[in-house]
Amino acid sequence: MGSMNRLSSSDRARILQLLCEGMSIRAIERTTGASKHTIIRLLNMAGAVLGAYQDHVFRDLSCKRVQVDEIWSFCYSKELHAKRLKDRPEGIGDVWTWTAIDADTKLVFSVLVGGRDSNYALGFLEDINSRVSGRFQLTSDGWQAYDSAVRWTFGDEIDYAKLVKIYGAPVNVGPARYSPPVCIGAKATVVRGDPDPAHISTSYVERQNLTMRMHMRRFTRLTNAFSKKLDNHANAIALHFAYYNFVRIHKTLKTSPAMAAGVADHLWEMSDLVAVVEAAERKPGKRGPYKKRAGANA
């Protein structure tokens, strides 16, 4: 295929499709003949452009039930090993991805990549507030950083509840040591407002975590395809959600989340994503990444 500048639109669509279906960069290199560096450059350009596009169009959303969660991954090395580095580069170690999903349309409309402290929680909820119009019900897990962030961002203008799951003791011996602990119960707690008890749930956003792990090789557990640079990691996430929101048909909705939310008027194909990227490529000016804080290796 040659360099990225010589890739045709169909070649770009094919590479991006393979990335969105969870294939590793090395596997795509073997399958398509494009070099690793060409694939990474395309990934970063597409992720930055499509992230900025989603940032622009996901506004004035009429969500009624929003679920939020954080999913762990790492960049270059896990936190335990990163702490031992004398000159630790920025963006190395554990990385958390905060996601917000509309429980009705399944649109993932807010994504933040970085740490897991109160500052990130505040920035994440402020972003949600800038995108959703009107009062809505919010459900999170029991992470304590949400408490002050919700209070500072929304006050009493939303209905907020926590769902804290209770897990059994992990098994550290035999084959079961690779399995997550078993959930043995859940406790719902009303924090602010008057949330509907029937809709205090994080099921959709947790299912989205599984989709991320299945469709992004970087998130696969026990993988050797983890991200080496935070820029690449954030751009891969932006590309994933562009594909998920606009192209991939949700089995329950029978359409894409973007169409269900009224953001798109037709079901997109991968060629439509490529068209957005190529249109931005022809425009002068700098393209920024999608909601990335912090931080060609993969």
**pLDDT tens, residue by residue, 14-27:** 999 999 999 999 99
The enclosing H or E element of 230 equals helix 230-242
Q: Tell whether 297 is covered by a domain.
A: no
Asked whether the beta carbons of 66 and 84 are under 8 A apart, the reply is: no
State yes or no: pLDDT of 57 exceeds 70: yes
Can you give the residue range of the structural domain that contains 63? 4-281
Q: Tell whether 161 is covered by a domain.
A: yes
Q: Tell whether 290 is covered by a domain.
A: no
Tally of structural domains, the chain: 1
Q: Tell whether 216 is covered by a domain.
A: yes
Q: Tell whether 210 is covered by a domain.
A: yes
* Cα–Cα distance for residue pair 103/203, rounded to 1 Å: 9
Task: State the burial class of residue 174 (Cβ atoms within 10 Å of its Cβ: 0-12, 13-18, 19+).
Answer: exposed
Give residue-wise pLDDT tens across range 137-151.
999 999 999 999 999
Q: Tell whether 296 is covered by a domain.
A: no
Give residue-wise pLDDT tens across range 184-203.
667 889 999 999 999 999 99
Q: Record the tokens describing residue 167, joined without a space.
A: 């897990």
State yes or no: pLDDT of 290 exceeds 60: no
Q: Tell whether 298 is covered by a domain.
A: no
Q: Tell whether 295 is covered by a domain.
A: no
Predicted confidence at residue 4, as pLDDT, reads 57
State yes or no: pLDDT of 215 exceeds 80: yes
Asked whether the beta carbons of 66 and 159 are under 8 A apart, the reply is: no
- What is the CATH classification number for the domain harbouring 217? 3.30.420.10
